[in-house]
């Protein structure tokens, strides 16, 4: 499986380029299934989640090839015979995002209930509710969701929770439905907006992405898109921002949309970290001493759950008490046990974690329990005295493009063993 070893103690210094957004790229890859023509996507991160999604879409008969500069060329077939096997789908939660596009374009889909990161129950009721409202017939047979529809019909759908995946799945399906669809209480994450922009590039008529209501006028078919560049990854950017702050560093992040990381920038400033923008460059400089802060994860533009674990690592050595409330995924706090192995003092009570800052962390053998927990352990390892050996590195490889290379270029000592 391989381990990642992090030797702590060096402040991160220098500049680093942020890759394309994993979560936007995954959704956009799924949307590409609806294009009747070629699609060329730029700024796609070469990480394992993307590779798995490519393999899954290839099972449907797609021709997909990497081109220079992290670009992907995709061409879907006119008909789909095979459905992706369980072994592939189970590796990636986001494979559920194929449901809407497949139904809309090919009239049927069969997908095993997906797996993915181990961060909570992650039901799909809202996805199903939305697709059923568009007229899909859905049934669950031995863990496989089977859905059919001659032609989807536009509808009015209210989401009980602004789920990112449900918003994306329903929005994609509605693009090829007959008539208008209105989705209320939708997710406003930048990845949803990026997906809507891509869909419009294919000829869809989506309005309102980024607000609480998305309206879609269905069209009969979607066409080619010869160039679409995916937004930068705000969670990767955020992880380097936290790592810079945690190590007393001074880092310039290139290829960032500062607005997308504002929920983190605001928190870091509150913790006495300097964060300032220079166009699409974000400069993060630690100051002494850092101050404790309280965090509540919320749907965008609230504080992202995907950066909560990294902040927990940072706060574990900030003198005073910080409180973290996790409102999105209940299993995110499993990382606390690993941080405690490194000397952190964290008490978890349901959705609340109380972090008492200790003077320092110590290197230890720890394991990543999910992707962002893995990132948090890297941050902790960078801060700690001695070497930290992180197992289950495959979680980290799911979402961080060239992690060791990027960290090494900032002066960190990180290697695989
Ligand atoms: C996406 C992101 C993930 C991020 C999360 C929240 C991708 C590939 N992944 O995941 O990195 O952490 O958004 O920002 O984009 N829920 C339901 N019923 C549903 C769907 C969701 O109750 O049908 C609940 C979930 O259990 C969770 C909350 O809604 O408590 C948010 O989940 P959701 O926004 O759907 O997350 P994902 O799309 O799975």
- Report DSSP letters for 15-79, one per residue: EEE--B-HHHHHHHHHHHTTBSS-EEEES----HHHHHHHHHHHHTT-EEEEETTTEEEEE--SS
Bridge partners (DSSP) of residue 390 are: 4, 366
Q: 150 CB under 6 A from ligand 1?
A: no
Which of 210, 229, 248 finishes a domain?
229
| Residue 117 among the catalytic residues | yes
Q: Do 301 and 221 share a structural domain? A: no
Query: Closest residue (by CA) to atom 15 of ligand 1?
Result: 23
173 pLDDT above the threshold of 90: yes
Coil, helix or strand for 84? coil
Give the model's pLDDT for residue 82. Answer: 86
Range in 89-98, 154-163, 262-271, 339-348 the model is least confident about: 89-98
Domain of residue 301, residue span: 4-19+232-416
Q: Do 354 and 271 share a structural domain? A: yes
Q: 127 CB under 6 A from ligand 1?
A: yes
Which of 200, 229, 258 finishes a domain?
229
Calculate how far, in angstroms, residue 287's C-alpha sits from the geometric centre of ligand 1.
34
Q: Do 155 and 244 share a structural domain? A: no
Contact 89, 56 (CB under 8 A): yes
Where is pLDDT greater, at 364 or 121?
Answer: 364
- Give the rounded distance of the alpha carbon of 240 from its chain centre: 15
Q: Do 300 and 174 share a structural domain? A: no
Percent share of the chain, pLDDT over 70? 98
117 pLDDT above the threshold of 60: no
Calculate how far, in angstroms, residue 247's C-alpha sits from the geometric centre of ligand 1.
31
Q: Do 169 and 243 share a structural domain? A: no
pLDDT tens readout for residues 337-360: 999 999 999 999 999 999 999 999
Q: How far apart are the C-alpha atoms of 202 and 23, rounded to whole Å? A: 19
211 pLDDT above the threshold of 60: yes
Give the model's pLDDT for residue 1. Answer: 60
Residues 80, 82, 84, CA angle at the centre, nearest 5°?
A: 115
Average pLDDT over residues 333-338: 96
pLDDT tens readout for residues 147-169: 999 999 999 999 999 999 999 99
Give the model's pLDDT for residue 279. Answer: 85
Instruction: Residue 306: name the closest of 21, 30, 1 by CA.
Output: 21
Which ligand 1 atom is the nearest neighbour of the CA of 329? 30
Range in 18-22, 57-61, 89-93, 243-247 the model is least confident about: 89-93
Q: Do 33 and 8 share a structural domain? A: no
Query: Closest residue (by CA) to atom 20 of ligand 1?
Result: 124
DSSP string, 336-393: HHHHHHTT-EEEEETTEEEEE--S--B--EEE-SSHHHHHHHHHHHHHSBSEEEEE-H
Residues 348, 344, 374, CA angle at the centre, nearest 5°?
A: 80
Percent share of the chain, pLDDT over 90? 89
Q: How far apart are the C-alpha atoms of 186 and 212, rounded to whole Å? A: 5
Give the model's pLDDT for residue 81. Answer: 85
Contact 342, 6 (CB under 8 A): no
Q: How far apart are the C-alpha atoms of 173 and 181, rounded to whole Å? A: 10
Q: 23 CB under 6 A from ligand 1?
A: yes
Calculate how far, in angstroms, residue 236's C-alpha sits from the geometric centre of ligand 1.
18
Mutate to test the pocket of ligand 1, among 24, 165, 187 (most ligand atoms within 8 A of CB): 165
Name the residue with tokens 């406003």.
Answer: 188
Q: 125 CB under 6 A from ligand 1?
A: yes
Contact 64, 73 (CB under 8 A): yes
Q: Do 219 and 262 share a structural domain? A: no
Give the model's pLDDT for residue 122. Answer: 67
Contact 331, 338 (CB under 8 A): no
Q: Do 257 and 174 share a structural domain? A: no
Calculate how far, in angstroms, residue 210's C-alpha sits from the geometric centre of ligand 1.
16
User: Residue 59, by phi and psi: left (phi above 0), alpha (psi -120 to 50) or beta?
Assistant: alpha
Average pLDDT over residues 193-202: 98
Give the model's pLDDT for residue 141. Answer: 87
Which ligand 1 atom is the nearest neighbour of the CA of 300? 14
Q: Do 291 and 223 share a structural domain? A: no
109 pLDDT above the threshold of 80: yes
Which ligand 1 atom is the nearest neighbour of the CA of 120? 26
Calculate how far, in angstroms, residue 121's C-alpha sits from the geometric centre of ligand 1.
10
pLDDT tens readout for residues 303-313: 999 999 999 99
Calculate how far, in angstroms, residue 178's C-alpha sits from the geometric centre of ligand 1.
27
Q: How far apart are the C-alpha atoms of 159 and 161, rounded to whole Å? A: 5
Q: Do 79 and 121 share a structural domain? A: yes
115 pLDDT above the threshold of 80: no
Query: Closest residue (by CA) to atom 26 of ligand 1?
Result: 122
Domain of residue 307, CATH code = 3.65.10.10
Q: Do 282 and 183 share a structural domain? A: no
Where is pLDDT greater, at 120 or 91?
Answer: 91
Average pLDDT over residues 4-31: 97
Q: Do 272 and 193 share a structural domain? A: no
pLDDT tens readout for residues 231-253: 999 999 999 999 999 999 999 99
Which of 183, 201, 229 finishes a domain?
229
Residue of 30, 59, 117, 225 marked catalytic: 117
The count of domains in the chain is 2
Pairing mode of beta strands 352-356, 413-416:
unpaired
């Amino acid at each position: 499986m391989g381990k990642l070893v992090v030797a702590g103690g060096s402040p991160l210094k220098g500049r680093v380029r942020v890759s394309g957004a994993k979560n936007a790229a995954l959704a956009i890859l799924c949307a590409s299934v609806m294009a009747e023509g070629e699609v060329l996507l730029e700024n796609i991160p070469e990480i394992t989640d993307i590779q798995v999604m490519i393999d899954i879409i290839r099972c449907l008969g797609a021709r997909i090839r990497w081109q220079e500069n992290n670009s992907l060329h995709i061409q879907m077939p006119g008909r789909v015979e095979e459905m992706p096997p369980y072994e592939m789908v189970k590796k990636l939660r986001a494979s559920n995002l194929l449901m809407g596009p497949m139904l809309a374009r090919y009239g049927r889909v069969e997908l095993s209930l997906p797996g993915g990161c181990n961060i909570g129950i992650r039901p799909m009721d809202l996805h199903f509710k939305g697709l059923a409202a568009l007229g899909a017939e859905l049934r669950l047979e031995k863990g496989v969701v089977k859905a059919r529809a001659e032609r989807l019909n536009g509808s009015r759908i209210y989401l009980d929770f602004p789920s990112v995946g449900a918003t994306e799945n329903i929005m994609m399906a509605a693009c090829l439905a007959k008539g208008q669809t209105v989705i209320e209480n939708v997710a406003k994450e930048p990845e949803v907006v990026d997906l809507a922009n891509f869909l419009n590039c294919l000829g869809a008529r989506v309005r309102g992405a980024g607000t609480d209501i998305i309206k879609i006028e269905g069209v009969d078919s979607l066409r080619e898109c010869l160039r679409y560049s995916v937004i930068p990854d705000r969670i990767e950017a955020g992880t380097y921002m936290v790592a810079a702050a945690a190590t007393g560093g001074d880092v310039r992040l290139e290829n960032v949309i500062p607005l997308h990381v504002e929920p983190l920038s605001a928190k870091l400033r509150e913790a006495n970290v300097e964060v300032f923008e220079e166009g699409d460059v974000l400069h993060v400089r630690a100051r002494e001493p850092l101050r404790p802060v309280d965090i509540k994860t919320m749907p965008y533009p609230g504080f992202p759950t995907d950066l909560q674990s990294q902040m927990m690592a940072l706060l574990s050595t900030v003198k005073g008490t910080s409180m973290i409330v996790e409102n999105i995924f209940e299993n995110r706090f499993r990382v606390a046990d690993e941080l405690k192995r490194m000397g952190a003092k964290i008490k978890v009570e349901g959705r609340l974690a109380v972090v008492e800052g200790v003077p320092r962390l110590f290197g230890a053998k720890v394991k990543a329990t999910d992707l962002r927990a893995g990132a948090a352990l890297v941050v902790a390892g960078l801060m700690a005295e001695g070497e930290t050996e992180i197992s289950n590195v495959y979680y980290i490889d799911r979402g961080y493009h060239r992690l060791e290379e990027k960290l090494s270029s900032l002066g960190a000592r990180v290697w695989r063993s």
